[in-house]
Amino acid sequence: MNKPVMTSMQRVLTTLSHQEPDRVPLFLLPTLHGARELGLSIKDYFASAENVVRGQLLLRKKYQNDCLDAFFYAPIEVEAWGGEVIYREDGPPNSGEPFIRSLDQIKALEPPRPAETPCLRKVLDAIDLMKKAVQDEVPIIAVVISPFSLPVMQLGFDRYLDLLYEQPAIFWNLMQINIEFCVAWANAQVQAGATAICYFDPLSSPTNIPRDLFIKTGFPIARQVFSRTKSPIVMHLASGSTIGILDDIISLGAAVVGVSAAENLTEIKQLCRNKLTILGNMNGITMRHWTLSEAEDIIKNILRQAGSGGGFILSDNHGEIPYQVADEILLNIAALVRKWGIYPLDWTSV
């Protein structure tokens, strides 16, 4: 017998408690598609909080999504420090030239104050408007870039790796500055109405650095941020691998982990069962070419591996669905979740 229909918040809270809600929660994260819904360029779309809120509400109604996504674009955090943002017509804004041009600048850096920084103020206003629109019926997911991964945009990847390996004192100086900013930015979004914070930390993935380096760097940095953030946290490695550091992520106290499309969900489910909710792991890059039958096979396989017993939210594996993924595909994904994601998932044992 099917369970009574839940609100999105009830559905998510039930799965976070490792119980089975009425159906598998769906977090579609088409950050840029709101611009298309409103007939705006991506730059004009992100020019106002009101545009983003209208776009998110339209997309949720269209896809019957179980969250609102308060994420604007990754370089908004370097924009807050005075860095450059480069807009594109068909993809997410990118950061321009790194704003830290010499290591001497690091000593003088002061973290931006979110409520007083115009680009961050827009995000806070958007979260406030989302909260007023949905109250406690829908989770609002906000985002911070980890202090450990942010310097890829602050310094540039090559110069950051040099700093990481060759200048430990200056590295930790930058980390403490970034930690203060990250905590303030996370808690400002929580105060504005965000339900949870997604902590994007791709550099910490075993895809990018060995675990022993993570334990010395990304791990203690995350521990500081997690302990001071006033909401549940999603640890997201932005399509990077999690296998090898899952126990570490659990020990940090994360509520959810975003997992890669390249990973074995059966193995991850075994490691995370009753400890950590899994978010994933549809491949947003290949998604743009999915046929109806391919989408059905992929989603059924994902649900078969990770859906039973709760503790699973269906989403893409990167945290942002590419602009090129057509509405028809996203509508099909939403319909497939309503078809195959109803609990109990009896068909998975056939």
Residue 211 domain-assigned? yes
Residue 2 domain-assigned? no
Look at residue 241 in the predicted model and tell me its pLDDT: 96
Q: What share of the chain in percent tops pLDDT 70? A: 99
Average pLDDT over residues 275-285: 96
Whether cis (ω within 30° of 0) applies to the bond prior to 151 is no
Mean pLDDT computed over every residue of the chain: 96
Look at residue 349 in the predicted model and tell me its pLDDT: 78
Q: What are phi and psi of 313, to 5 degrees?
A: -125, 125
Residue 1 domain-assigned? no
Q: Which domain holds residue 118?
A: 8-349
Task: Dump pLDDT digits (tens) for 2-15.
Answer: 679 999 999 999 99
The enclosing domain of 161 has a CATH number of: 3.20.20.210
- Distance between CA atoms of residues 254 and 140, nearest Å: 17
Residue 3 domain-assigned? no
Q: Look at residue 23 and give its three-state secondary structure.
A: strand
Task: Dump pLDDT digits (tens) for 29-73.
Answer: 999 999 999 999 999 999 999 999 999 999 999 999 999 999 999
Instruction: Tell me: pLDDT of 264 over 80.
Output: yes
Q: How many structural domains comprise the chain?
A: 1
Look at residue 1 in the predicted model and tell me its pLDDT: 58
Look at residues 29, 65, 251 and name the one whose alpha carbon lies nearest to residue 142: 29
Structure-block tokens of residue 92: 């997410």
Per-residue pLDDT band for 87 (boundaries 50, 70, 90) equals very high
- Distance between CA atoms of residues 151 and 81, nearest Å: 12
Structure-block tokens of residue 222: 């995350």
Q: Look at residue 282 and give its three-state secondary structure.
A: strand
Task: Dump pLDDT digits (tens) for 207-263.
Answer: 999 999 999 999 999 999 999 999 999 999 999 999 999 999 999 999 999 999 999
Report yes or no: 311 and 272 within 8 Å, Cβ to Cβ.
Answer: yes
Look at residue 53 in the predicted model and tell me its pLDDT: 98
Structure-block tokens of residue 55: 């776009």
**Nearby residues of 80 by Cβ (< 8 Å), 6 or more positions away:** 112, 114, 117, 119, 120
- Distance between CA atoms of residues 145 and 76, nearest Å: 10
Per-residue pLDDT band for 310 (boundaries 50, 70, 90) equals very high
Report yes or no: 67 and 131 within 8 Å, Cβ to Cβ.
Answer: no
Task: Dump pLDDT digits (tens) for 284-307.
Answer: 999 999 999 999 999 999 999 999
Look at residue 2 in the predicted model and tell me its pLDDT: 66
Residue 336 domain-assigned? yes
**DSSP H or E segment with residue 106:** helix 104-108
